Structure 1
Amino acid sequence: MKRSVALILALFLSACAIFGDPTEIDETKGWSVQRLNTEAETSMRNRDYDKAIGYYEKLKSRYPHGRYALQAELEIAYAYYKKGEAASAIAAADRFIKLHPHHPNVDYVYYLKGLATFNERGIVEKLTAQDISDRDPKALRESFAAFKELITRFPNSKYVKDATARMTYLVNTLAAHELHVARYYMKRGAYVAAVNRCKFVIETYPETPAVENALIIMISAYDLLGIEDLKQDTMRVFKTNYPNNPFNGTAAPPEQKSWWKFWESL
């Protein structure tokens, strides 16, 4: 008998977990679509994004057709973005794009998707103030791709100007990330790997400020590897393109065998 009571109690608790507390009262029961929308908008203005998302989800569920439901989908994506939940914001944006590819505001959704990824930062990074170029570049590339899709599909969108500026920043940051890795290899004596990273910067991000330092690291690596011809070739490229760089006038101290270690001061 005790075993049966325990089993019934366990089943009851499981049902509560699945279906929710049956005694819980839904305050929105019987609300019109207009009231749900108004309450959701008020919550958004008050920055209570969890409550806003809840109202918008109920609105979509109860009134799935019409302009209110469509607007709710947009607002849910924005609310997740404001909450800092990039993955949920991107998922909501992708869902909207898939369902409404010809909506007049779909350019905004592409822009919002790029913003969500652009601002994505991990807890550790926030606590340590980690430089953005030290990060895993995956999120940066995804943000760049979203902004690029926006300006490709909607070149006349009002969001193109800001998206283009952010793309420039992202390209510079991705190049800086590659230099960060190259310096890591240099510190560990992996000079060939450092050269390859620098070549990647020069070939992939040729218009970025990182190219100047990439050439310096390559010269240092070739010097330490004892590859004089490639070192001299790279020095010529460096001097031609960056004649005002102070490193161009540096001479080798006679007592120092490998003098070109400028990368250590970058």
Structure 2
Amino acid sequence: MKSFRILAPLFISAAVGLSGCSSSSDEEKAALANMGAQQLYEKAKTSMEVGNFSLAADTLSTLDSRYPFGPLSHQVQLDLIYSYYKSGKTEETLATVDRFIRLNPNHSDVDYAYYMRGLTNMESDSNLFQEMMNIDRSDRDPAKSREAFNDFRRLVEQYPNSKYAADARKRMLYIKERLAKYEIAIARFYMRREAFVAAANRGRYVLEHFPDSTQVQQALEIMVSSYEQLGLTELRDNAMKTLKLNYPDSDFIS
């Protein structure tokens, strides 16, 4: 396992000093210009060790562009992915991941690249403030969560024995719950708008695609209510039968 690899979510905080930024930046660029490949890599590793991932990313980016085919090139790209991720630079992380996968499809660490892609997309869908305040925003667009799910699924399917596969599977379960909650939120919106066909379809989608989520009971209740409003007696009775069989304590039944 390479240095600076992770298996946990990230919460990023940043402190920005406003004094002397320009001069220190110019001095840093001048110092980097005079360094060789090994010096640059040692500097980047030191920055990573002390948690200065922004500086590490700048250094690794310089090294990567200056020595794209050197003996350290693969490790530099992997560390650059991690440094961008830790710096909260989503677009740069994904671009670097995609480039690594495209250029090194058979590399021994390509599973790590897929894992980092999934992590980056997954965190792009999160909102730290809302989570801290327990604000439920299940209705927000889950596009990034879908991307993350596909990233983790690709990892699990193509590299089932990867050291990252077990964590990827756990994250897929979490994402499925997120996606199911989104479908329920949209279904309830349709119910309020009296778009009962659309609401019932969303409920059925949860049953078909997320049967192991905690949203199945709500999906069935929405289907029963929607079919009742539409006068679809047989479909209503079938949904109610399934609801009673699996959730006999549902308040909706009584």
Q: How much does 1:149 deviate? A: 0.6
Paired amino acid for 2:217: E
Q: How much does 1:127 deviate? A: 4.6
Q: Provide the residue aligned with 2:225 in structure 1.
A: 220
Percent of matched pairs sharing the same residue: 40
Aligned to 1:119, the other structure's residue is in SS state helix
Q: Equivalents in 2 of 1:238, 1:52: separation in Å?
A: 55
Q: Do the aligned partners of residues 132 and 81 (structure 1) sit closer, same or farther apart at CA in structure 2, a change above 3 Å counting?
A: farther
Instruction: Pick from 94, 97, 101 the counterpart of residue 93 of structure 1.
Output: 97
Cα distance per residue 1:155-209 (max 9 Å; x no partner)? 1111110000000111121111100100111122221211111111112222222
Structure with a larger share of its residues in helix: 1
Q: Equivalents in 2 of 1:117, 1:55: separation in Å?
A: 24
Q: Provide the residue aligned with 1:196 in structure 2.
A: 201
Q: Is the 8 A contact 1:43 1:49 kept in 2?
A: yes
Q: Equivalents in 2 of 1:132, 1:88: separation in Å?
A: 27
Q: Provide the residue aligned with 2:247 in structure 1.
A: 242
Cα distance per residue 1:1-47 (max 9 Å; x no partner)? xxxxxxxxxxxxxxxxxxxxxxx561123312221111111112233
> Is the counterpart of residue 72 in structure 1 residue 76 in structure 2?
yes
Aligned to 2:211, the other structure's residue is in SS state coil
Structure 1 gaps of 5+ residues are 1-23, 251-266
Counterparts in 2 of 1:29-178, with a 5 A limit? Answer: 29-121=33-125, 125-129=127-131, 130-131=135-136, 133-178=138-183
Q: How much does 1:242 deviate? A: 2.2
Aligned positions, number: 225
Q: Is the 8 A contact 2:47 2:56 kept in 1?
A: yes
Cα distance per residue 1:72-128 (max 9 Å; x no partner)? 111111111112222221111010011111211111111111101011147xx4455
Q: Is the 8 A contact 2:125 2:142 kept in 1?
A: no
Q: Provide the residue aligned with 1:4 in structure 2.
A: none
Range with bigger deviation, 159-168 or 86-95 = 86-95
Range with bigger deviation, 130-139 or 156-165 = 130-139
Paired amino acid for 1:245: S
Tell me the TM-score normalised to structure 1 length. 0.78
Q: Provide the residue aligned with 2:13 in structure 1.
A: none
Q: Equivalents in 1 of 2:125, 2:191: separation in Å?
A: 27
Q: Is the 8 A contact 1:114 1:143 kept in 2?
A: yes
Q: How much does 1:246 deviate? A: 4.1
Tell me the TM-score normalised to structure 2 length. 0.81
Q: Equivalents in 2 of 1:98, 1:29: separation in Å?
A: 29
**RMSD (Å), alpha carbons:** 2.0
The runs of at least 4 aligned residues of structure 1 exceeding 4 Å deviation read: 125-130
Larger Rg belongs to: 1
Cα distance per residue 1:56-75 (max 9 Å; x no partner)? 12212333333322211111
Q: Equivalents in 2 of 1:224, 1:28: separation in Å?
A: 69
Q: Is the 8 A contact 1:81 1:89 kept in 2?
A: yes
